[in-house]
Amino acid sequence: MPEAVNGVCSGTNSALVRISEPGGAQHLRCFSGLQQRSSNVYSMSYCINYDCYPSEFAGKTLALSTEPLLVSEAPNKTATLVTYLVPDCVGPSVRSYKYDDNGDLALLPDLPGENGVFQYPEKGIAAMSFEASVEPLCNDRYVAALVTSTFVQDDQPRVPTSSCPCWVTPQEAVDPNPLGCDGIKIPVTLETIPNWRTNYGVSYRQCIDPANFDFL
């Protein structure tokens, strides 16, 4: 990873990672930020190689943190999964941000979740930052994160009642076929799931036109 010049990374989609140690020394490097791999998958990675860092970092536990990385067109109503690919000597975490009323990135509170799966707000996020605690045993290793956003469809409009008739029941059939319904209609049974309190369910049978199955 090239060093940052005056704390700035150049190049398209280049991002800054801050490497620091308990004594306060820090080192700035640049890497490729979130790369869009498909319509809903982003990924990023950076390398950990002590031979690339100044000598004062040798043999120390390092704290690595990226600057907030913008998530282009942060989608609404998504289920977001963050998956880390890291060696055992790295302890990763993630933070997320949203624009405040002044147009600045504001850190969101800790999000509910576990085992690398986090529940993000329905209105989406604007940016993410990745952090890691790196043990001295790590050398020539990498930290990789895969961010997957699964879009949730908008609520579908109600089916017009004119296309959803109240079908007759087998008991109302005038000239029942072998299945007990008029004409070519077939019986469809609607059942409730048995409840542990009552230990039985309720069922209701209708005669449905097999050409469309628009029952209910």
- The residue with greater pLDDT, 188 or 12, is 188
| pLDDT level of residue 52 (50, 70, 90 thresholds) | confident
What's residue 88's pLDDT?
84
For residue 119, is pLDDT > 80? no
Query: How far apart, in Å, do the first and last CA atoms of the chain sit?
Result: 61
Please name the amino acid found at residue 31: F
Distant-in-sequence, close-in-space partners of 81: CB < 8 Å, separation ≥ 6: 116, 117, 118, 147, 148, 150
Q: pTM surpassing 0.75?
A: no
What's residue 215's pLDDT?
46
User: Could you report the per-residue pLDDT of 126-163, keeping only the tens digit for each?
Assistant: 888 888 888 888 877 778 877 776 655 555 566 555 55
Distance CA 60, CA 57 (A): 6
Please name the amino acid found at residue 67: E
Residue ranges of domains in the chain, CATH in brackets = 14-151 (2.60.120), 161-208 (no CATH)
Site of tokens 């405040």: 100
User: Could you report the per-residue pLDDT of 53-101, keeping only the tens digit for each?
Assistant: 778 787 888 888 888 887 765 444 566 677 778 888 888 888 888 888 8
